[in-house]
Each structure stands twice: as C-alpha cells, then as structure tokens.
A = this chain, B = another copy of it.
Amino acid sequence: MNARDLQIQASVTAEMVIFTIRSERLAVLLRRRDKTPYAGCWGLPGGRVHADETLEQAAVRQLAEKTGITGVYLEQLYTFGDPARDPRGRVIAVSYYALVPYNRLKVQAQPSELAWHRVDALPPLAFDHGKIVAMAQERLCAKLDYSTIALQFMPEKFTLSELQAVYESILGEALDKRNFRKRVQALDCLEDTGEQFRAGKHRPAKLFRLKTPGRVEIIK
C-alpha cells in the first residue's frame, strides 16, 4: 500500500444550524430525513458543496434553498470529519450557524419536513448533528458576552423590551431592566425611529432600529 491509498477524496457538505427566537425560546430549524441512513430522524438542513462555489457560498445557498431566507448573519462554526460520522463514506461536514430575525419565519408555511425545535427540547438527531447544535449554542452564548450578535435576531424595528427578552431567551436567565438598557445604550448601535409600538392596554414602547444593520461589533 503506498501513500496514495491512504489519501482521501471526500464529500464535503455544508451543515446549517439555523437559529431563531420563537415564543421566547431559542429554536433551531431541523429537517426530517426521508432517506437512509437515519430515515425519519431529524437532522440539520445542509447538503453537498458544489465544485464551483466557496464554502460560504454553499452555506448561503443551503440557507436559501431550504428556507428561502437570505441576507442574515452567517458564520463558520467548525468542521467535523470523523471517518465514522457517516456510514456511507467519508463526509467532511463544514458547519455554519445562521441567525434569523424572528419576524421572518416564512419557513412555517413550508413543507412539513422542516420544523423549528426548541434547543432545550431537541429530539435525537441524525449523525453527529446533536454535537454540532451543542457547539453552535455554546458559541452563540459566548458571543453574547463580547459582541453585539444578538441584535441579528431582531426585526427591522423593535422595542427594548423585545430585545431584552431575546437576551433572556438565549442566556436562560432574567436580566435587570435598568442595567440592561444602560448597557444597550452604551453600545451606541441603536437609533430611535420616532415611531411607537402599541401592544395591549398599556403605555406604548419606542421602536428602535440598528444604525448599521448587518454589522456585528466586538465589545469590551
């Protein structure tokens, strides 16, 4: 056996961990598999990388094809390449995670093989996808502390209470309202739209928007 025999020609896939906030919970989009292996099991949306595209382009394409969503935050997470992770052969999974604003959930209207699942109550997942989701959640939590990544979950206009609810959903703990607002103001990322949001029988809230919508800043 010469060295050549040991080298691999592998399939390369982009696997997408697509997060959003639904009903005040962090949720991830899963697809029910119709083919073996793991037929009937839930797994991450994803698919093979094409010959003429970059890894990031493949990720963007997967996101668009599977969900119709474009223009959202996307970041490479990690690459999984255990020889035994797919029984069909050597498959290198380059994982990405995406953050989808919670008013853009057109996905619900899609075929029923796609569904949102709360990350704190996931079914068993195909392949090593459980590990991938866990790592994505860890990364997301860590980034809350030192970046403005959470703003990528927000729709175009939103209230500060809504934003606080998003932070609380991801962190899984309640935050002090005044301290939260102080910190957010200090970021200098939001601007008052001048509009108000009326919900229920109480004082309406100011609506804010991002000064630079796509931008994620590193803070502290």
A78 contacts B81, C-beta separation under 8 Å: no
Q: How large is the interface on A (under 10, 10 to 19, 20 to 34, 35 or more residues)?
A: 20 to 34
What's the number of copies of this chain in the assembled complex? 2
Tell whether A81 pairs with B8 under 8 Å between CB atoms, given A90-B51, A92-B92: no
Q: Is A199 engaged at the interface, CB distance under 8 Å to the other chain?
A: no
Produce 1/0 per residue, A25-67, CB < 8 A to B: 0000000000000000000000011111111000000000000
Tell whether A83 pairs with B51 under 8 Å between CB atoms, given A76-B78, A78-B76, A92-B92: yes
A12 contacts B11, C-beta separation under 8 Å: no
B81 contacts A6, C-beta separation under 8 Å: no
Tell whether A6 pairs with B50 under 8 Å between CB atoms, given A12-B81, A55-B79: yes
A81 contacts B49, C-beta separation under 8 Å: yes
Give the interface centre of A9, A11, A81, A83 by most chain B CB atoms within 10 Å.
A81
Produce 1/0 per residue, A88-115, CB < 8 A to B: 0010101000000000000000000000
Docked complex Cα distance between A92 and B76 (Å): 14
B48 contacts A8, C-beta separation under 8 Å: yes
Docked complex Cα distance between A94 and B79 (Å): 7
Q: List 18 A-B contacts (CB under 8 A).
A: A6-B50, A7-B11, A7-B48, A7-B49, A7-B51, A8-B51, A9-B9, A9-B10, A9-B11, A10-B49, A12-B81, A54-B81, A54-B83, A55-B81, A55-B82, A55-B92, A76-B79, A92-B94
